[in-house]
């Protein structure tokens, strides 16, 4: 079901190149096009999460549902994977590691857990890595077609996309950016985690349209207000709002006459109202889209126009 020949291999399958050779050798014939995550837990079988189920990799390099048949992940493999994704420079990604993830080429996010090293009340680093989760970035052109008519109505309306993790909000955000940009609107992307655009050597790894510019790898509140000053955008897009600083930036942008399209973690509008920053932000949005995985990732549960 998820087997691929070398001739059929797609760029997304190139994610296996970041894996240690001792794992990579089992994965060359496995199709990752529909995969959501690759999970590696020390001492446990490696598994790949697909929409229908979790699959384990056997010594023969094929997928199966039986956990006991899967290849196990070792501490050495986790350490080697960390070295590969940091390009042997842990210091250069220290801020990302203490936040619990590293974003790699292609926009894939590698989650990291282990022993937290604290300094005062803050986590300074994570050592003794015990598990890593590679969340595979997805580009689905046309996924925003169902909602574009609501978002684009006498201009671009301020839009917030809400969902729990893994429900497709970043995928929908990317396609909205592409859809809006290709209609002639200048879009500025504040890409704090480097996964919306997946920039590499100055070019986006995804199709974000012909009128889109990106500022990545800096706090989104700073990136949003900087884009406002420097690029004269019609729209500013960003992922995962959540702080008071974000709320202040969104307010400044909207009051400047520029539209905002953003995402947030949550199960719906009502849940977000329990958080201080969103009690301020939610009234600023004209459209609130709630996603779930009820019929697969990206299921549109609600489109509200409060």
**pLDDT digits 0-9 by tens, 224-275:** 999 999 999 999 999 999 999 999 999 999 999 999 999 999 999 999 999 9
CB 35 within 8 A of CB 28: no
Domain 6-135 shares a fold with domain 145-304: no
The total number of residues shown for the chain amounts to 306
Q: Please determine, looking at this structure, whether the domain spanning 145-304 carries the CATH number 2.60.40.1180.
A: no
d(CA 193, CA 109): 9
pLDDT digits (tens, 9 = 90+) for 164-213: 998 999 999 999 999 999 999 999 999 998 889 988 778 898 999 999 99
Domain 6-135, architecture per CATH: 2-Layer Sandwich (3.30)
Phi then psi for residue 68, to 5 deg, are: -65, -15
- Across 20-24, 27-31, 98-102, 120-124, the highest mean pLDDT is recorded for 20-24
Report domain extents, the chain.
Answer: 6-135, 145-304
Question: How large a percentage of the chain has pLDDT more than 90?
Answer: 71
pLDDT tops 80 at residue 35: yes
CB 234 within 8 A of CB 156: yes
Between these two residues, 177 and 8, which has the higher pLDDT value? 177
């Amino acid at each position: 079901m998820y087997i691929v020949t070398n001739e059929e291999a797609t760029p997304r399958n190139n994610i296996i190149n970041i894996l240690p050779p001792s794992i990579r050798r089992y994965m060359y014939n496995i199709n990752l096009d529909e995969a959501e995550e690759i999970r590696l837990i020390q001492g446990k079988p490696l598994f790949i999460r697909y929409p229908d189920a979790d699959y384990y990799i056997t010594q023969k390099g094929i997928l199966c549902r039986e956990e006991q048949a899967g290849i196990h992940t070792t501490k050495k493999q986790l350490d080697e994977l960390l070295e590969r994704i940091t390009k042997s420079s842990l210091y250069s990604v220290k801020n990302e590691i203490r936040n619990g993830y590293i974003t790699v080429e292609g926009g894939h996010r590698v989650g990291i857990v282990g022993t937290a090293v604290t300094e005062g009340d803050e986590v300074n680093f994570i050592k003794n890595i015990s598990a890593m989760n590679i969340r595979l970035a997805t580009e689905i052109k046309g996924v925003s077609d169902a909602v574009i008519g609501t978002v684009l109505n006498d201009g671009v309306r301020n839009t917030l996309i809400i969902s729990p993790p893994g429900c497709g909000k970043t995928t929908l955000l990317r396609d909205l950016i592409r859809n809006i940009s290709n209609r002639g609107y200048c879009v500025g992307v504040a890409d704090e985690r480097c996964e919306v655009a997946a920039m590499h050597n100055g070019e986006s790894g995804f199709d974000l349209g012909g009128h889109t510019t990106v500022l990545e790898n800096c706090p989104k509140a700073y990136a949003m207000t900087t884009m406002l000053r420097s690029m004269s955008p019609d729209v500013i897009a960003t992922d995962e709002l959540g702080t008071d600083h974000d709320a202040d930036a969104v307010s400044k942008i909207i009051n400047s006459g520029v539209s905002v399209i953003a995402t947030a973690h949550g199960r719906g509008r009502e849940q977000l109202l329990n958080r201080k920053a969103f009690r301020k932000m939610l009234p600023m949005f004209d459209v609130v889209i709630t996603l779930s995985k009820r019929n697969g990732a990206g299921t549109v549960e609600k489109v509200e126009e409060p």
